[in-house]
Amino acid sequence: MNDRYTFVLIHGAWHDGALWAPVSEHLRIAGHTVHTPTVAGHGKEADKQVCHADGVRSIVDYIVANDLRDFVLVAHSFGGTIVSRVAEEVPERIRRLVYWNAFVLRDGESIADVSPPPYNQMMDAIAAERGDNTVMLPFHVWRDGFIADADLATAKHTYELLSSEPYRMLTDKVPLKTFATLTIPKTYLNAQSDVAMPPGQYAWFPRFAERLFPCRVVHMPGSHQVMFSDPAGLASKLWEAGRD
């Protein structure tokens, strides 16, 4: 059985494609081909004055320019809002969609629309203070909410790798006119200690898996940043999530 795949990994907010390195290395060692494009507006050197549609366009362009076909398209967190639109644009190129603790939006929703009001208030305040239409995550939120399964040194080191997020990525309403009709196989991968969305009614699981269903569901231990705290484990689960 041919069990080697092409993976295209779409990062979350505050991240860029290069931060997948520990995970993509494990996937490549296992024989897979891996692409980790950066969404427009992301990375320390990027122009941050972009909208959500710019982000979508940048990934569609990458896929077309590299003529990628028959690949597993993986999204982390914010990346879920990108891949749903990408799937509408180039559905015939995608073998399977994998949402790893990623947002599954409905037509016309933004990330803010599906986030807890206290989060939106925190982000609004941060955006107002920064004054450049970007937001940054406070370290204490990162440490306890995003990466509690790593030691403090790893939490601090990885925090330095982040860069500010164009606020429109979180607040633009995303048109998803045809996503619900697509027949691409889908998987929801859930790290069980991920509380970047808080426990209860706003939790990632089962909320976004329900929206995606019927889909494969895969669970794993770990936090929202298990890509840093256990990259080998995440690579293994991405394979389980993405295989035929």
Question: Quick check: 108 binds a copy of itself (CB under 8 A)?
Answer: no
Q: Which amino acid is at 169?
A: M
What CA–CA distance (Å, rounded) separates 59 from 39? 6
The encoded tokens of residue 106 equal 């409905």
**Window contacting a copy of itself (CB under 8 A); options: 63-71, 123-131, 145-153, 158-166:** 145-153
Q: Which residues pair with 10 in a beta bridge?
A: 75
Pairwise CA distance, residues 168 & 180, whole Å? 24
**Residue 128 binds a copy of itself (CB under 8 A):** no
Q: What residue has token string 């970007």?
A: 134
In the complex, minimum distance from the CB of residue 84 to a copy of itself, in angstroms, rounded to a whole number: 18
Select from 92, 117, 128, 140 the one that contacts a copy of itself (CB under 8 A).
Answer: 140
Hunting for tokens 């995550």 — which residue is that?
137
Rule CB under 8 A: say whether 94 interacts with a copy of itself.
no
Element (H, E) at 121: helix 117-130
Dig out the tokens for 134 from the structure.
């970007």
Residue 181 is a binding residue for a copy of itself (CB under 8 A): no
Residue 121 interacts with a copy of itself (CB under 8 A)?
no
Residues forming the site for a copy of itself (CB under 8 A): 1, 3, 140-141, 144-145, 148-149, 151-153, 185, 187-188, 192-193, 195, 198-200, 203, 205-207, 209-210, 213-219, 221, 240, 243-244
